[in-house]
């Protein structure tokens, strides 16, 4: 999706991933409206335009499917992500290399995915530590 593209906040836009090694890769983008502060400088820079919060690319392979997540993942994105995982079937890898921000629900979801045999690839140190802490707190009850 080009930077000048506008959409409806909350709308899911599906398109072919243009910069991918495999042209058949599907990608979904979740749009959200940028929040502007009341200060003049911030408002002037912001312009209240639409930005992409999460992009999901599904990359089919011979023996596994890689689901690449790019951007911010929030709890509201989990139903779509669950659907992508269900559609992918067999062996699944979640590539988290370009994830910038997650919330607690997403961390619990990723922990459950890993427990079910889904591989978390390129998981950042802060996210890995958070997943470990969530598991420990679940065990302690």
Rounded to whole angstroms, the Cα distance separating 141 from 129 reads 18
Provide the whole-model pTM: 0.66
Write down the CATH number for the domain with range 12-140.
3.30.750.24
**Which contiguous run of DSSP H or E holds residue 79?**
helix 78-88
Statement: residue 115 has pLDDT above 80: yes
- Of the pLDDT bands very low, low, confident and very high (cuts 50, 70, 90), residue 28 is low
Q: At a CB cut-off of 8 Å and minimum separation 6, what does 118 contact?
A: 85, 92, 93, 94
Q: Which residue has the higher pLDDT, 47 or 141?
A: 141
Q: Where are the domains of the chain?
A: 12-140
- CA 141 → CA 18, 127, 131, 133, 136, distances in Å? 46, 21, 15, 12, 9
Query: In 10 A of CB 45, how many CB atoms?
Result: 10
- Of the pLDDT bands very low, low, confident and very high (cuts 50, 70, 90), residue 141 is confident
- Report the pLDDT value the prediction gives residue 89, as an integer from 0 to 100: 79
- Report the pLDDT value the prediction gives residue 51, as an integer from 0 to 100: 57
């Amino acid at each position: 999706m080009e930077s000048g593209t506008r959409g409806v906040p909350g709308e899911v836009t599906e398109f072919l991933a243009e910069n991918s090694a495999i042209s058949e890769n599907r990608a979904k983008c979740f749009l959200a409206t940028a929040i502007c502060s009341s200060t003049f400088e911030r408002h002037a820079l912001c312009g209240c335009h639409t930005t992409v919060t999460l992009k999901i690319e599904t990359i089919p392979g011979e023996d596994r499917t890689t689901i690449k997540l790019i951007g911010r993942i929030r709890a509201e994105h989990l139903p779509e992500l669950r659907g992508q995982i269900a559609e992918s079937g067999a062996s699944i890898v979640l590539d988290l290399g370009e994830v910038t921000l997650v919330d607690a629900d997403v961390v619990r979801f990723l922990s459950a995915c890993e427990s079910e045999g889904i591989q978390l690839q390129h998981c950042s140190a802060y996210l890995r530590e958070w997943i470990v802490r969530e598991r420990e707190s679940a065990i302690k009850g």
